[in-house]
């Protein structure tokens, strides 16, 4: 058997440095998965409970890393400088000092007396830099700053203005150099007053540069990970706001459309049947008051059917006993959340296109039923039906059906919309499929 192969001092140091970066990236990734921690990152104005939560979230795992270094000799787990400085940079000087105190406690118990002052000082240094630096400049600090360092330096010299990317880079470098100096000065052959990764003497300069590079990366990597989470959250919020605005814009088209058609009917009744016109106006005012009181974009199916009843009261005054409405509503669908004003355009379409030119009476059936993970809602009439040509343009011409179709696709996705089946002369069925949501957060204007 061959002799066992051991790593050289240079190789051990390099392995430790790479492992440090891996550990800090893993800790940052784990922390950002928690909702409370993400909320703290998103808000720049943090209350004391949030700052304390942030400090504990960062300080506890880093203190465990220092303990692992003392008990197990796992040097890569010690992130005293990086953790305290980063906490101060993100959450302020007091949060940074608290993290510094937490990570220094195990080292202090192990006899490393300078660790307490150094770690707390790193926290205050990060916090002081946060107070002086524009907040967004902190989040723009990246592990890839080295690739454009010459541009930043030249731009700062040329314009005589402070480039915060350079300052954020130099700060952890200065703290690491200070740690190296204190370690060389106060540590002895048998005593350690401050832990630091001391490069082997033969390659001191090169290895020191690697240590400085690692320190910067251990600060910049969590910032990059957390900033990506902040950007993703902002994009999600923008998508929600855009969706809300679009739904509101689509919903606002319905009321004027319905109001215009009803006023047209009233104008035709004023001369021929003024008493009926007066009754329609009273019903219309009641329906409009209901619509103005409610600003919800989502309601239960039960509430939507109540709104339809008020609309049908108006239409049945116009058409008299010739118009019959039947409801076949499954009781277990009444609490399902649906977009508001989703049925009125469908019923109006049946009345306007199915019965307005039909001789004799007409019947509308409104039904709902559960079908797997969906609720199926249908509006069926025995009116004149649609020709093939009319069916081809029903979802693009006019406002009612096209509006409902677009609202469904915007809210639930491209796979949802209005389905029409019709036979000319026999009637039409308009079918909606909506995801089964009993409890949903209402979007209000």
pLDDT in tens, 207-219: 888 999 999 999 9
Identify the pLDDT of residue 146.
Answer: 65
Identify the pLDDT of residue 442.
Answer: 42
Q: In this structure, are residues 147 and 155 in contact, taking their beta carbons and an 8 Å threshold? A: no
* Continuous segment of H or E residues that includes residue 325: strand 323-329
Q: What share of the chain is helix, strand, coil (3-state, %, to 5)?
A: 70, 10, 20
pLDDT band at 338 (very low <50, low <70, confident <90, very high): confident
Listed in order, strand segments (DSSP E) in 175-315 are 298-300
**Domain covering 273-435 in this structure, CATH number:** 3.30.565.10
DSSP secondary structure, 52-95, as one string: HHHHHHHHHHHHHHHHHHHHH--GGG--HHHHHHHHHHHH-HHH
pLDDT band at 123 (very low <50, low <70, confident <90, very high): very high
For residues 85 and 93, what is the distance between their CA atoms, to the nearest angstrom? Answer: 9
Token pair of 100, please?
A: 């510094």
Token pair of 419, please?
A: 């389905």
The least confident of 28-42, 208-222, 317-331 is 317-331
Q: What is the pLDDT of residues 130-174, one digit of tens each?
A: 998 888 788 888 777 666 666 666 666 666 677 778 888 889 999
- How big is the CA angle at 331 (ends 327 and 337), to the nearest 5 degrees? 95
Identify the pLDDT of residue 47.
Answer: 82
Contacts of 286 (CB under 8 A, 6+ apart): 310
| Whether the predicted pLDDT of 343 surpasses 90 | no
Q: Could you tell me the residue ranges of all domains in the chain?
A: 9-236, 273-435
Question: 243 vs 204, which has greater pLDDT?
Answer: 204
The residue written with tokens 């409104």 in the block is 366
Percentage of the chain lying above the pLDDT 90 cut = 30
pTM metric for this prediction: 0.59
Token pair of 415, please?
A: 């796979």
What integer best gives the mean pLDDT of the chain? 82
* Mean pLDDT, residues 83-102 taken together: 93
Distances (CA, A) of 326 to 288, 376, 395: 24, 16, 25
Token pair of 299, please?
A: 């309601």
Identify the pLDDT of residue 98.
Answer: 95
| Whether the predicted pLDDT of 36 surpasses 60 | yes
For residues 51 and 41, what is the distance between their CA atoms, to the nearest angstrom? Answer: 10
Question: 246 vs 87, which has greater pLDDT?
Answer: 87
Contacts of 124 (CB under 8 A, 6+ apart): 88, 93, 96, 97, 100
For residues 152 and 166, what is the distance between their CA atoms, to the nearest angstrom? Answer: 7
Question: 91 vs 47, which has greater pLDDT?
Answer: 91
Identify the pLDDT of residue 321.
Answer: 74
């Amino acid at each position: 058997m061959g002799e066992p192969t051991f790593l050289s001092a240079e190789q051990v140091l390099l392995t430790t440095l790479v492992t440090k970066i891996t550990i800090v990236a893993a800790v940052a990734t784990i922390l950002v998965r928690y909702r409370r921690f993400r909320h703290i990152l998103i808000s720049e104005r943090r209350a004391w409970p949030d700052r304390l939560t942030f400090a504990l979230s960062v300080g506890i795992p880093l203190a465990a890393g220092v303990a692992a270094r003392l008990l197990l000799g796992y040097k890569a787990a010690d992130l005293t400088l990086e953790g305290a400085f980063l906490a101060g940079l993100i959450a302020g000087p007091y949060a940074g000092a608290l993290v510094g105190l937490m990570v220094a406690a195990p080292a202090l118990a192990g006899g490393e007396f300078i660790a307490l002052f150094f770690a707390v000082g790193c926290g205050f240094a990060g916090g002081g830099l946060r107070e002086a630096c524009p907040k967004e400049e902190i989040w723009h600090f990246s592990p890839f700053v080295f690739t454009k360092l010459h541009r930043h330096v030249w731009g700062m010299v040329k314009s005589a203005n402070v480039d915060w990317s350079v300052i954020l880079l130099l700060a952890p470098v200065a703290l690491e150099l200070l740690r190296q100096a204190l370690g060389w000065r106060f540590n002895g052959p048998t005593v350690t007053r401050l832990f630091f990764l001391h490069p082997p003497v033969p390659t001191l300069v090169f290895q020191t540069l690697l240590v400085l590079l690692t320190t910067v990366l251990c600060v910049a990597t969590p910032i990059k990970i957390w900033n990506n989470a902040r950007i993703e959250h902002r994009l999600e919020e923008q998508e929600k706001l855009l969706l809300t605005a679009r739904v509101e814009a689509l919903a606002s088209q319905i009321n004027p459309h319905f109001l215009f058609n009803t006023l047209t009917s009233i104008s035709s009744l004023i001369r021929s049947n003024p008493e009926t016109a007066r009754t329609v106006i009273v019903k219309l005012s009641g329906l409009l008051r209901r619509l103005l009181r409610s600003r919800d974009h989502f309601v239960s199916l039960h509430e939507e059917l109540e709104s339809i009843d008020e609309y049908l009261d108006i239409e049945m005054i116009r058409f008299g006993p010739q118009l019959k409405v039947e409801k076949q509503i499954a009781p277990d669908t009444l609490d399902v959340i649906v977009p508001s004003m989703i049925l009125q355009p469908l019923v109006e379409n049946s009345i306007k296109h199915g019965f307005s030119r039909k001789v004799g009476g007409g019947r509308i059936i409104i039904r709902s039923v559960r079908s797997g993970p969906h609720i199926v809602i249908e509006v069926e009439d025995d009116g004149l039906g649609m020709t093939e040509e009319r069916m081809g343009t029903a979802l693009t011409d006019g406002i009612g059906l096209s509006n409902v179709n677009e609202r469904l696709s915007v809210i639930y996705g491209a796979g949802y919309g209005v389905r029409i089946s019709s036979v000319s002369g026999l009637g039409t069925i308009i079918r909606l499929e909506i995801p089964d949501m009993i409890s949903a957060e209402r979007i209000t204007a």
